[in-house]
Structure 1
Amino acid sequence: MNPTTSRPTPKVRARATRLAVAGVLALSAVLTACSGGGADSGTSSADNGSAAGAVGADQGGGTADGAAVEPAASSPDADRQVIQTGDVRMTVKDPRAAADAVVALTEDAGGRVDDRSEHAATKDDVGTAELTLRLPADQVSAAVDGLRALGTIDQIDLKSEDVTGAAQDLDARIHALQLSVARMEDLLSRATSNEELIAAENALTERQGNLEQLQSERARLAEKVALSTIHVALYGPDLAPVEPVVEPTGPQSFLEGLATGWNALVDLAAGLAIVVGVLLPWLAFGGAVAALVVALVRWNRRRRGDRAVPVGPLAPAGVAPSASAPPAARPVDPDPDLHQPR
């Protein structure tokens, strides 16, 4: 029995041929796409490398032959916002001349003088000068070194205040308000009624006012950070001690002695007059009391004398005393020698 061999028909062979051609075309298309994507990627990578090199060159990261390098990482202190203030007290020979030198030093450093006051020296007080300096933050140390050459620094006090957080907060609020103002402007442009227009205008005006206020505050803060404030007080040398003048004591001539005696007499008379004026009411009161006491004493004595005299029967007038009455006693001569016969 002869084996039977099966052969494909012409239609089957044609279909297989078409499938083979389609597979080859698809494979070639895939390979073409992959090669094109790789080229595009390489081109993008090259472009990105060129852009990075340009940025590095702008930031000072390029080398002499143009090769791009990685930019240095920014330090944390680069974004710090610091306000510097200080007080300086100095002793100088001439406060006015030293003040002029301080002004020149400040202007050379790129700063300015906000306040300045001077007082000339007198016999009782030294000359003074006071200045308020606004110096760039990076020139404060150099300015202090320059002040040392003008005289003796008696006191120096420098302070720093970190306002980084406040500055960042203001920046964030300003950015948010700017976005809000932009949205309100868009709403205002798309308003279709008077009510919407008025509401949008009011809201936009309020946000713009707040934005301007924050921007002004941020500008003041930036100005304080950029320019440090230094108060400088200049004093002249101490005054020489004044020797006390010893004046002569006592009168130095006849007229001065006469004037001194007269003044002493006047002072004594004035003192006596004062004493008499003080004692006069007491003397009057004491005299009145003494007169009253004397009157009472006299009245008491008179009363006692009336009680001591004996009271007897009195004979009528013109009637002689009776014989039975005892004779009156003879008066006693107090000096019998005067009546003796010679």
Structure 2
Amino acid sequence: MRGRHIFFATCAPGIEPVLHAEAKALRLAKLERQVGGVRFEGTMEDAWRANLWLRTAVRVLLRLERFEALDENALYERVKAFDWAGFVGPEGTFVVDAQTRDSELNHSRYIEQRVKDAVADRFRERTGVRPSVDRTDPDLRIHVHIFRNRATLSVDTSGDSLHKRGWRRHQGRAPLAETLAAAIVRFSRWDGRAPLVDPFCGSGTILVEAALIAANSAPGLFRQQFGFERWPGHEPAAFARAKDAARALERVPGKLQIVGSDVDPARIEEARENVAAAGLEGRIELQEADARDFAPRPGWNAWIVTNPPYGERVGAVARLVPVYQRFGERVRTGCGGYHLALLSGEETLARALGIAPDERVALVNGALECELLLAAVP
């Protein structure tokens, strides 16, 4: 696909500032921060770079058209009139995802059905063969967003969600999405050189994402495939060169120390396997330890970046209050000069820390509303 296009990189709620900063660092053109993501303009090569490098994006959508969709016939005719041959073949597969708000067409499933019909009918009338729907592994993902009767028709360049990096071997008990972990590290303002510690490391997601940031390693390099690689006309040789260019920018930090610990030995073993799968053996130290006994190492001025358990995910809040109280006490009394970034899903537990945050960032972890508490420990 030649020429310039409009793209929209989506993200989870609250992460827009970090995603915008990432897109700016990539020098993507005509950036505009919006609710739910960042708009930019560029070529397909820019979309390749966005998929390879954006750590906090969930998907990179390519906008095809915008039009009024006051009723199902208007929607059907505009979708059917579009030439889909550049994105999927008559024997390929596709799926449609729709969202609607404040519009006459107010049932997302029905919108998906009508768009599916329009794409299938176009192919059938022209070729006698129609692509089929595959909800699990389609060649093409079509997105329709309707707001106040105005439809935006897009295709997903990413394929699977970008949080599925490809390095994870174990989810852990209460998994943190890789994209959210990267955002937490970015929000913490970690400089990539000071020690970073996660005393509730679980399966190691924050540790791995921090190490990849420090190494300037493109997270998309772990992926087996992106959505655009299945489109007709994709240029594999050119994309291979783009990946080689990304690999050439990797660096191995010198004396960087990233340390994770967890009270559960099973979680530590999971973290070891995840770290190994990410190619980070020897760069991340893991140990079995109770966060209630957390103590700073002599001479360190570190960042504590962590996602402790909270009641909705792994147990009752009351059981966790003493854990937070003891951990907060250890930080307050022994970690002067440290920086703390802690994801909290329960205000009772946040208060139990006894640490007044300098800043609170509203985020969403899965379906749970959370706050990232940021503090400089005096």
Tell me if both proteins adopt one fold, taking TM over 0.5 as the criterion: no
**TM-score w.r.t. length of structure 1:** 0.19
Larger proportion of strand: 2
**TM-score w.r.t. length of structure 2:** 0.17
